[in-house]
Amino acid sequence: MKRTPRGAFSARLGAGLALLALPAILGAGRLHTLHTELKSSDPARDTVLADPPVAIKLTYTTDVQLALSSVEVRSSGPGDAAAGKLGYPADDRHDVLILPLNQPLANGTYTVSWATAGPDSHPISGTFDFTVAAPEQVAAGGARPPPAGNEAAELQAQGDGSGTRAGFDRSQVLYRIMLYAGIVAVLGATVFRLLVLGPCARAGESREVIGSASRNASTVVAGGLGFLLVTIPARLWDQAEAFFPDDVAGNVLTVATGTPWAVSWWLLVVGVLLAGSGLFVRSRNGVRPFGWKVIATGALLLALVPVLSGHGWSDSPRALSAAATWLHVVAAGGWMGGLACVLLAGLPALRRHGAESPADAPGIAGMVDAFSRVAQVAVALLLVTGALKVWIHIGAVTDLWTTRWGRTLLIKDLLVAGVLALGFYNWRVVRPALAGDPHPQRLQRPAVFELLIGVAVVGVTAFLVGQPLD
Segments of the chain scoring below 70 in pLDDT: 1-35, 78-79, 136-169, 283-288, 312, 354-361, 395-396, 436-437, 439-441, 467-470
- Same domain? For 286 and 435 the reply is yes
- Same domain? For 229 and 320 the reply is yes
- Same domain? For 246 and 187 the reply is yes
pLDDT on residue 164: 57
pLDDT on residue 404: 79
- Same domain? For 66 and 188 the reply is no
SS3 of 105, please? coil
Q: Domain with 188 in it: what CATH number? A: 1.20.1630
Q: Facing residues of 129 across strands?
A: 111
- Same domain? For 177 and 157 the reply is no
- Same domain? For 197 and 146 the reply is no
Residue 469 lies in a domain: no
Domain boundary, last residue among 166, 196, 211: 166
- Same domain? For 239 and 376 the reply is yes
Q: Which amino acid is at 343?
A: L
Domain boundary, last residue among 146, 166, 186: 166
- Same domain? For 10 and 79 the reply is no
Q: Facing residues of 126 across strands?
A: 114
Contact assessment for residue 404 and residue 470, using Cβ atoms and an 8 Å cutoff: yes
* Residue 101: domain span: 38-166
Domain boundary, last residue among 137, 166, 195: 166
pTM: 0.77
- Same domain? For 361 and 321 the reply is yes
- Same domain? For 105 and 250 the reply is no
Number of folded domains that form the chain? 2
- Same domain? For 132 and 181 the reply is no
Residue 470 lies in a domain: no
Residue 366 lies in a domain: yes
Other beta carbons within 10 angstroms of residue 160's beta carbon come to: 12
pLDDT on residue 410: 87
Question: Smallest Cα–Cα separation from 94: which of 36, 34, 26, 170?
Answer: 36
Residue 61 lies in a domain: yes
- Same domain? For 392 and 246 the reply is yes
Sheet with 96-100, strands from edge to edge, namely: 38-42, 55-60, 96-100
Measured torsion, CA atoms of residues 387, 391, 397, 401, in degrees rounded to the nearest 10 = -70
Residue 348 lies in a domain: yes
Rounded distance between C-alpha atoms, residue 242 and residue 128, angstroms = 20
pLDDT on residue 412: 87
Residue 327 lies in a domain: yes
Q: How far is CA 286 from CA 207, 214, 229, in A?
A: 8, 5, 25
Q: Domain with 95 in it: what CATH number? A: 2.60.40.1220
Residue 1 lies in a domain: no
